[in-house]
Structure 1
Amino acid sequence: MNLAEIFQTLLGKELQIRFTAYDGSSAGPADAEFGLNLKTPRGTTYLVTAPGDLGLTRAYVSGDLELVGGHPGDPYGALQALAGDLQFTKPSPLVLAGVAKSLGLEHFKPISPPPQEALPRWRRFAEGLRHSRGRDAEAIGYHYDVSNDFYELVLGPAMTYTCAIYPDRNATAEQAQENKYRLIFEKLALKPGDRLLDIGCGWGGMVRYAARRGVHALGVTLSKEQAEWAQEAIADEGLGEFGEVRHSDYRDVVEGDFDAVSSIGLTEHIGIANYPSYFGFMRDKLRPGGLLLNHCITRPDNQSRGKAGPFIDRYVFPDGELTGVGTIISKIQDVGGLEVLHEENLREHYAMTLRDWNANLVENWDAAVAEVGENTARQWGLYMAGCRIGFDLDIVELHHVLAVKHDKDSQPNTPLRPWWNP
């Protein structure tokens, strides 16, 4: 069997996409808009030794597999088409034996993955136990210390790497990111002279937004490159009196009595087992009556496994864990002293955010490749487009949860109904 025949056999149905391979074989409609082009024997080895998402990712990131019909900075359309077609059957042992004989035994010997791939979970113990300080720092550095210049190309002027909130469907990414900070600022009822702690602050977008409005804002991040960029931006805007970003683990913050605590995109990195101490930390940093807002990616239910699949774990967020918003709300309630006031799902907004980041990558493709190399740029295009499909299909969601710290002797002085503009 040639490679196209093998592909067709494993799929077990008529193709809607086009498959071509380096041996000259092909399958599927000749006029299909989207397809797969297997370019090298190394790509075959990646696919055989790691069936599923991980093998496809290895072959794609290394340049051995091409998604036809899309730009490598935004393969969204091609991934959509492939998602409907790549549902492999389980052939009989006799069929599998024929496939193995046709491929050749050399393709079943594992080879080194692309250098962009993180170590598997079981080999990360040298960096410490899962979610220890050292291992968290390594995981954050893997993803966030790629290159500030690269992030500027992808994220645009907002330099914000969390879900934007679009005031309408025609808003730009920059308008939506500004609106996100505005919404969080209003939900936290911040006013001039208040004190805000923003944990996992990235490049300091929330810190600078609050500082411009007279709020004393402290942000902390485990990424050294983020902290340096943020401090420079704070200085350039003349916000040093109000804003500060530290290169620090949030658990090392010694100050307390904050009027508000925000966590925007950090919960995904904490580990579900650590939620009690995480939410307890935020509670303890608040003054009585202070507010906290947790903004994070979630699953659409509370039963799914928390750990990420191999693609996300090896190529995007090592050690990342997700759970349902019900679990998050329960953990906030269970630490004691916190009352959940409001929650909302912003799933569609993240799909739109990823769309705009992919568009930025396409527009700045040559500069991005020059900055980080083509393989890493391909990795990012694939990851963002794939996650966009996840938000489209409600495989993942994005939730805000707002809570208030109770005082033993008094009720929190919050309005009876939501006080912010939606």
Structure 2
Amino acid sequence: MAAMTVGDMIALFLKDDAPIRIDAFDGSSFGREDAPLHLTVNNSRAVYYMVDHPGELGLARAYLQGDIGSPELVPGDPYEVFKKLTAIKGYTRKPNPAGLARALATVASHGIRHPEPPSIEGPGRLRRLTEGLVPHSKAGDAATVSYHYDQSNDFYRLFLGPSMTYTCAVFDSPDDTLEQAQQRKLDLVLDKLNLKPGDRLLDIGCGWGSMEIEAAKRGIHVLGVTLADEQVAWGQEWIEREGLQDLAEIRLMDYRDVPEGDFDGICSLGMMEHVGVKHYPAYFQEIYDKLKPEGMLLNHQITRTNSYVGKSAGPFIDRYIFPDGELASPGEIETKIQNTGFEVIHEENLRQHYALTLHHWNANLAAHWQEATDMVGEPKARLWGLYMAGSALNFELNTIQIHQYLCVKPPEGHGASYPLRPWWTTDRSAR
């Protein structure tokens, strides 16, 4: 049986007219030279990664290690390469069994190898379970949140910018700066919650404290909770620097352990991705119990576009970004909210806004690429570029969305009272 080149192996999976050129370390190639996208397979480890884990996990491992690449690739912002890759979907084919057998025999003839995954890869679901990290238990959530957020605060600042706000911004125009759009998002949340000076706000999954700063500047008493030590340190220092200690506080605490109640408002921005779909009823009940009658909830979360796809993240996201992360559809989430007893006043989809936000973050990372790689190493810097660019593309393709739900807790025995028409506006001069 004749050995196959890497180019031959690729031809098993792609049609001859696919709009891509791939050049491999063994001197072989696939595709025409004038193809709109060029990729390189730089060493044999890339092949072994793909044999071990065909699909997104094998590709991710090879990319993070620099085993596959492209002359067109900007590591901090690989969006354009990813966008061109979406055109390849229509040119894939199922490999014939004989060809697949030849390919595997060729790989085996060089020795059976299982290269180590990149050192930044987290454990899979089974290993987390054997370590006692039950998904969405308090211990499990603390470990997975820490895995994502307890990186270097300075690294996050490179791409988040001075607002240190790691959730979808709100744009009036694509020409808005990231800082303008993030300020508009904070204003929108607080305006929707209709809080006044002296009111009490709980911020679940508060991040680095941007909401605490903005709420306290309005005279609102705000408590933020997070499971990430690095965020607490940053946020508390920020609060003290602004002289807002009498109004704002950040605690290292699970939202389920907050002893206070009777809040006038609760917000949760980008935290629900960590909760787990089967835990949604308990999550919303916990919030419901912590609000006073006619208190409001602003829940802001990434969603699936529809309800008939799986809820769990794929292996790449699970091992590298959000372990145990799950997404549900907008309708499923709203049903859980209303079944808890909330009245949903308003809902909106900010899908396009998140794509714009991610493009800004990628541009910031690319602009600070050398500093980023010096700080955390190239594989981890590549990881965040990969994750953000891929997410931007998925928002644009409407594979995922992000929804805000504004809800009120009705007083016992009758409906809540609130203004007849929406009272919030993104026009600050009109407030």
Normalising by structure 1, we get a TM-score of 0.97
Match of 2:429 in 1: none
The answer as to whether partners of 2:196 and 2:218 remain within 8 angstroms in 1 is yes
Q: Which residue of 1 aligns with 2:295?
A: 290
Q: Cα deviation per residue 1:93-151 (whole Å; 9 max; x = unaligned)?
A: 11111222333345654332111211111111114211111111111111111110100
Q: Tell me which residue corresponds to 1:71.
A: 74
Cα contact 2:16–2:31 (8 A) shared by 1: no
Query: Is 2:394 aligned against 1:385?
Result: no
* Residues 325-344 of structure 1 deviation map (CA, whole Å, 9 limit, x = unaligned): 111110011112x1111100
Q: What pairs up with 1:31-42 in 2 under 5 angstroms? A: 31-42=34-45
| C-alpha distance in 1 between matches for 2:185 and 2:109 | 54
CA contact 1:33–1:69 (8 Å) conserved in 2: no
The runs of 5 or more residues in structure 2 that have no matched partner are 427-431
Alpha-carbon distance in structure 1 between the residues aligned to 2:360 and 2:35: 26
Match of 2:106, SS state, is helix
Which residue matches 1:415? 419
Q: Structure 2: how far apart are the matches of 1:2 and 1:386?
A: 30
**1:130 is aligned with what amino acid?**
P
Distance 1:147 1:374 in 2: 14
For the pair 1:155 / 2:155, whether they are aligned, the reply is no
Separation in structure 2 between the aligned mates of residue 362 and residue 153 of structure 1, nearest angstrom: 10
Mapping for residues 324-403 of structure 1, pairs under 5 Å: 324-336=329-341, 338-403=342-407
Whether the 8 Å contact between 1:73 and 1:365 is mirrored in structure 2 is yes
Deviations 1:176-221 (A, max 9, x none): 0000000000000011111000000000111111001100000000
* 1:165 and 2:178 aligned: no
> What is the CA distance between 1:418 and its match in structure 2?
1.2
> 1:37, 1:67 within 8 Å by CA — same for their partners in 2?
yes
Is the contact made by 2:317 and 2:323 (CA closer than 8 Å) also made in structure 1? yes
Instruction: Give 1:34 shift.
Output: 2.6
Distance 1:402 1:110 in 2: 49
Distance 1:228 1:330 in 2: 37
Which range moved further: 325-334 or 90-99? 90-99
Report Cα offsets for 1:311-368 as digits up to 9, x if no partner.
11111111000000111110011112x1111100000000000000000000000000
| Aligned with 2:119 (options 110, 115, 131) | 115
Equivalent residue letter for 1:375: P
Mean CA deviation greater in 95-104 or 171-180: 95-104
Aligned to 1:203: 208
Identity of aligned residues (%): 49
User: How many angstroms apart in 1 are the aligned matches of 2:82 and 2:16?
Assistant: 18
**One-letter amino acid of the structure 2 residue matched with residue 23 of structure 1:** D
Q: Contact 1:17/1:33 (CA < 8 Å) preserved in 2?
A: yes
Change beyond 3 A, Cα 1:123–1:88? farther
1:154-175 deviation per Cα after TM superposition (whole angstroms, max 9, x unaligned): 1011111111111222101110
Structure 2 SS opposite 1:60: helix
Q: CA deviation at 1:13?
A: 3.3
Residue 239 of structure 2 corresponds to: 234
| Alignment match of 1:248 (pick from 240, 243, 253) | 253
Letter in 1 for 2:383: Q
What secondary structure, in the 3-state scheme, does the structure 1 residue paired with 2:70 have?
A: strand
Deviates more, 1:7-16 or 1:59-68: 7-16
Q: What is the SS of the residue equivalent to 1:104?
A: helix
Deviation at 1:381, TM superposition (A): 0.6
Query: In structure 2, which of residues 128, 136, 143 is the aligned counterpart of residue 124 of structure 1?
Result: 128
3-state secondary structure, aligned to 1:259: strand
Considering only aligned residues, what root-mean-square deviation do their CA atoms show, in Å?
A: 1.3
Partner of 2:328: 323
Q: Secondary structure of the residue that 1:380 maps to in structure 2?
A: helix
SS in 2 for 1:124: helix
Further displaced range: 404-413 or 144-153: 404-413
Q: Decide whether the 8 Å contact of 1:269 with 1:319 is kept in 2.
A: yes
Q: State the AA in 2 paired with 1:215.
A: I
* CA spacing shift, 1:107–1:412, aligned 2, 3 Å: farther
Question: Structure 1 regions of 5+ residues with no counterpart?
Answer: none
Rounded to whole Å, the distance in 2 between the matches of 1:384 and 1:242 is 34
**Cα distance 1:271–1:164, how it changes in 2: closer, same or farther (>3 A)?**
same
Distance 1:106 1:340 in 2: 61
Deviation at 1:410, TM superposition (A): 4.4
Map 1:263-302 to 2 at 5 A. 263-302=268-307
Match of 1:405 in 2: 409
